[in-house]
Structure 1
Amino acid sequence: MQSVRFKNRSWDVAADLRLPKDFDPSKKYPAIICAHPISSCKEQTSGSIYGERLTEQGYVTLAFDASHQGESGGEPRYLEDPATRVEDFRCAVDHLVTLDYVDENRIGCLGVCGGGGYAANATMTEHRIKALVTVVAANYGRIMRESGAIDTLEAISRQRTAEARGAEPLITTYIPGSPEEREQAGATDIDIVDAVEYYRTPRSQDPNSPNRLRFSGLDAAVGFDAFHLAEVLLTQPLQVIVGDVPGAFGSYRDGFELFNRARSEKKDILVVQGASHYDLYDRPEYTDQALRKLESFFGENL
């Protein structure tokens, strides 16, 4: 694994580049971009699970930290901006096509959770991406709109005004900071329970995933639809993977919406029985099923 940097506008995006076993720089390899969930980082599921295993299957993989987050540059920090998140994918492709050992006609993309929604949106207009996989893809804009959109926008407006007048930025959190905080809040939905266990305990806690979010930057997310124009522009082969245990984040229904709306002539959806959203992040009995499907899908389409 190599630590690499590529540009998005004026800042560096940090990424982990993995090369297959017995790598030969004189050969041409297919490559897969791996995108992390919202609030996550490249060291978690996108890189350590899916990137690692896809590399074992013979692919060059590039798992990156979103701009403004993790080890990537970009100011202000902790910003969740859909347009920039989508541009990260185009910049990742720009980087891959400069590598002599990457076959520019065999570049694929995989996104997990919110990264899957962003990956779908990017692939619609980035046709150097030849095949797309989403794992428990979530449409972040839809989630924001279902969480009291108008009240949220009013609160964001007040905060932006305060910051314009010199107030300190409001840095909030995506999820409760610990299992104890979750219990105190009375949050019992399976996605919230599992999110806290995944991100805020030794299961997968990482300093590059600090559970910090800039509140005043969320207005763009409220108006974002990850699947907008999928029925017109998303033509590449598509593999959607979801678990059949639904939760508050809605990745089960988002996966079916993407599958149904995509214009792709070649598309498939895998429902992993007994799997919740976070089971498909790192639980081998479920990720192994997803990775077997990825092996056949990318094998046929890259």
Structure 2
Amino acid sequence: MASDKIRSVTYRNLGWDSAADIHLPPNFDETKKYPAIVSTHPIGSCKEQTSGNVYGAALAKEGFVVIAFDASFQGASGGEPRFIEDPSIRVSDIRFAIDYLVTLPYVDADRIGAIGVCGGGAYTIHAAMTDHRIKVVTSITGVNFGRLIREGFSNFDPVAALEAMGKQRTAEARGAERNVIDYLPPSVEEGKKAGVTDIDVLEATDYYKTARGQQPHGATSGLFSFNSAAMGWDAFLHAEVLLTQPLMVVIGDKPGGFGAYRDGWKIYGRAASKDKQIVVAEGWSHYDLYDRPEPVALALAKAIPFFKERL
């Protein structure tokens, strides 16, 4: 037990173990049944950052059991090679987190919701389409990683990026060193010197590369040769048919290069959910919604009752 309110656990995934923190409600009673929420971290992040210490902790205080886990190949979870960002496995991770939750005697298996931040928000939406054990979904500044890697992360030349990834994977198969790329510059100052002007890249760097949000497992890294798996993936595929659960989408109104603003409006429009809401945090950006008190409070003021009324 990490503390009286957080339990650190491991459970079996496909061929490795996942690491997770379970955030418990105040006055937790093992003999009672609680609604539960799976909280999924952003790309290059970890369970100790916004998914756990901000949204997970806040939802637990409101009476939910919240599981915040590290993605496979990342953080304290197992899986080799390290730093794979494969959307299909990221979605599968959410299903395994639910598998673990339903074994806990204090979790009501019929009252499970899901929340995710950034890439985790879109992974959560996709997971809900094919795992209807998820009864309620909230996406916080969700980003469709498939779209992002086809666009900005490949300099808008996905075919050339695929060629480079293929060559690198062949080299690695023949014994070359793994090419683990850092998605961000080492500092805001160095990013600006290199000509970076995008608000999302600079604010991500401010979050991940400073004491504000930096954590040992928040590596902001990806294995370049394996990123090809995301190229043909779409977080919102079949949402018009399969995404029927109550859905809340939270976005800031200061758009950046990662595209959460337009992704938010897109899934809000496409989802088959009859019960759906979009919350626009006016005057706030993508990374403000990670940990800045005012926009986070705005998001939680909407998300907490949304979960409570439906779980």
User: Where on the TM-score scale, by shorter chain, does this alignment land: which range?
Assistant: over 0.9
Deviation by residue 1:237-288 (Cα, 9 ceiling, x = unmatched): 0000001110000000000111111101110100011110000000011000
After TM superposition, the structure 1 = structure 2 runs for residues 47-62 of structure 1, keeping only pairs within 5 Å, are: 47-62=52-67
Corresponding letter in the other structure for 2:242: L
User: Would you say 1:8 and 2:17 are equivalent positions?
Assistant: no
* Aligned pairs, number: 302
What is the Cα-based RMSD across aligned positions, in Å? Answer: 0.8
In 1, the alpha carbon distance for the partners of 2:279 and 2:187 equals 32
User: Structure 1 length as normaliser, TM-score?
Assistant: 0.99
Give the whole-Å Cα distance in 2 for the aligned partners of 1:142 and 1:21. 40
Q: Give SS of 2:285's match.
A: coil
Question: 261, 273, 278: which one pairs with 1:269?
Answer: 278
Q: How far apart are residue 197 of structure 1 and its match? A: 0.1
Identity among equivalent positions (%) equals 56
Structure 1: where are the runs of 5+ without partners? none
CA contact (8 A) 2:43 2:220 kept: no
Give the residue type in structure 2 aligned to 1:104. A
Aligned to 2:76: 71
Q: Per the alignment, in what secondary structure is the counterpart of residue 283 of structure 2?
A: coil
Question: Runs of 4+ in structure 1 displaced over 4 angstroms?
Answer: none
Deviations 1:131-169 (A, max 9, x none): 000000000010111132111101001101111222111
**Counterpart of 2:301?**
292
Distance in 1 of aligned mates of 2:257 and 2:264: 14
What amino acid is the match of 2:304? E
Give the TM-score normalised by structure 2.
0.96
Query: Secondary structure, in 3 states, of the residue corresponding to 1:76?
Result: coil
| 1:84-163 alignment, distance < 5 Å | 84-146=89-151, 147=154, 148-163=157-172
Taking the aligned partners of 1:289 and 1:211, their CA distance within structure 2 comes to: 27
* Aligned-partner SS, 1:275: strand
Greater CA deviation, 180-189 or 202-211? 180-189
* 1:163-202 map, 5 Å: 163-202=172-211
Compute the displacement of 1:35 (Å): 0.4
CA distance in 1, matches of 2:86, 2:52: 21
Q: Distance in 2 between matches of 1:40 and 1:180?
A: 21
How far residue 181 of structure 1 moved from its aligned partner, in angstroms, is 2.5
Residue identity opposite 1:125 in structure 2: T
Shift of residue 211, structure 1, vs aligned partner: 2.5
User: How far did 1:68 drift?
Assistant: 0.3
Distance in 2 between residues matched to 1:107 and 1:185, nearest whole Å = 45
Match of 1:29 among 34, 45, 49: 34
Pick the aligned partner of 1:209 from 208, 212, 218. 218
Distance 1:109 1:258 in 2: 16
Q: Could you tell me which residue of structure 2 aligns to residue 41 of structure 1?
A: 46
Question: Does 1:251 pair with 2:260?
Answer: yes
Q: Given residue 286 of structure 1, which amino acid in structure 2 is its aligned partner?
A: P
